[in-house]
A = this chain, B = another copy of it.
Amino acid sequence: MYMSSTAGKTAEAERAASQPGGAAPFKIFNRIVDWITSDRMQLINITDRINEIVRKSGIREGIVHLQSLHTTTAVFINEWQDALVHDVRAFLDDLVSREKYWRHNDPSYSDCERRNADSHLRGMIMGQSLCLQVRNSAVLLGTWQSIILAEFDGPRSRSMSIQVSGV
């Protein structure tokens, strides 16, 4: 079922890892970035911004951890294509109904005036944190993979904490 080739990508991967990885000291680089959103549900391609921070960190091999600091947002991976972005919004709209009765939106149960139960449930199921590998001073991503920040209760200002760690 699987192949672990000794040529091509795998050999390169082993070289990169076996040499300087163990010698260099462990480093951590933290950065908080803010985004201003303009719609209630909005997807933002943050790939370039994350790569810029990874480059600035000076860390060559390791992990970049992204954590949105808001429950009504999410961060995940998908292809960045207009038609598909439209489908993602339609899918999430459908997965969690905004109109359904939710206690969080009911003043007799909740003091939240935003009536955003759907935003919370979307943020919860998609997740607010993402861990990706850093290889050769860049975020490791497949050809079609982009990093997407999702706003589910905008417009707002949203903060993400980005931690790059490794060598």
Name A residues whose Cβ lies closer than 8 Å to a Cβ of B.
1-5, 9-10, 13-14, 16-18, 21-23, 25-36, 44, 46, 49, 61-63, 65, 67-71, 76-79, 81-84, 86-88, 90-91, 95-96, 102-104, 106, 109-110, 112, 117, 120-121, 123-133, 135, 140-145, 159, 161, 163, 165-167
Residue with the greatest number of chain B CB neighbours at <10 A, chosen from A29, A35, A87: A87
Nearest B residue to A2 by beta-carbon distance? B35
Which one, B33, B62, B68, B96, contacts A28 given CB within 8 A?
B62
Q: Which residue of B lies closest to A17 (CB)?
A: B30
Q: Judging by beta carbons under 8 Å apart, are B5 and A31 in contact? A: no
Tell me the complex Cα distance, A96–B146, Å: 21
Q: How far is the CA of A7 from the CA of B39 in the complex (A)?
A: 26
* CB nearest neighbor in B for A87: B102
A95–B130 Cα gap in the complex (Å)? 23
A87 touches B161 (CB 8 A): no
